[in-house]
Amino acid sequence: MSRSERLLDLMQVLRRYRQPVSGRRLAEETGVSLRTLYRDIASLQARGARIEGEPGIGYVLRPGFMLPPMMFSEEEIEALVLGSRWVAKRGDPRLAAAAADALAKIGSVLPADLKEKLEHSTLLVGPRKPGGETIDLSLLRKSIRSEHKLELRYLDNDGRDSRRTVWPFALGFFEEVRVLAAWCELRQDFRHFRTDRIAEAAMLDDRYPRRRQALLKDWRAVNSIDPAGI
């Protein structure tokens, strides 16, 4: 186990206790010697962890300390790399660039041993077929975040053209297609719109009258997306 993983384990154990716990018990739970435990506690305190106590009395972690990026385990690093690479392949250009930037920021603060694992991860993501969108997906994401209505020009499966005013609340990324989930004012119901069939999209000044979290909750109660049937 690397030192970073060992410190992470110690933090996780400390979080389970609200009252001071002895160093010997912490050493047993983390599988290290008492001397190593004392060194690890000192290392965490030097990095800003509010661990109070001393040998013979016990230790307690005060609330409010957030784990820094250097505290990721090896599997968490792999999950971050795989997720970022998936977004780079499946997301729109701005989302892909954001994933790469986020991974670079994490890499800049990792210890050398974990940074090497991040840079040389062998978890790969295959290419995706071109989505065929003619619109900027970042506009859809912005509309969802800000809870603004969208005006769409949409082509259905038979090529019929319609204009819709919708309340967008989710964007689904599937292997072959991307799907916008929204409340449709025309149909007065939830509808799913394949992004490769949205010919035009414009965000309106009007905010829709419900919170997107409430729309998502109601949608989940009655819907599941099958992209093949849209």
pLDDT of residue 130: 65
For residue 209, report the phi and psi dihedrals to the nearest 5 degrees.
-80, -5
Report DSSP letters for 21-86, one per residue: B-HHHHHHHHT--HHHHHHHHHHHHHTT--EEEETTTEEEEPTTPPPPGGG--HHHHHHHHHHHHH
How far from 213 is each of 23, 24, 89, 146, CA to CA, in Å? 44, 46, 27, 12
Alpha-carbon distance of 27 to 190, in angstroms, equals: 54
- The total of other beta-carbon atoms located within 10 Å of residue 212's CB is 19
Alpha-carbon distance of 149 to 139, in angstroms, equals: 11
pLDDT of residue 199: 95
pLDDT of residue 171: 95
pLDDT of residue 165: 98
pLDDT of residue 16: 86
**pLDDT digits (tens), the chain, 230 positions:** 677 778 888 988 998 888 999 999 999 999 999 999 999 999 888 888 889 998 888 999 987 665 554 567 778 888 989 999 899 888 888 998 998 888 888 887 777 777 888 888 888 888 777 657 889 999 999 999 999 999 999 998 888 999 999 999 999 988 888 999 999 999 999 999 999 999 999 999 999 999 999 999 999 998 766 555 55
Spell out where the chain has E strands.
51-54, 58-61, 148-155, 161-173, 178-184, 189-194, 198-207
Map tokens 């072959």 to a residue.
176
Alpha-carbon distance of 191 to 13, in angstroms, equals: 46
Choose among 102, 130, 132, 106: nearest CA to 117: 106
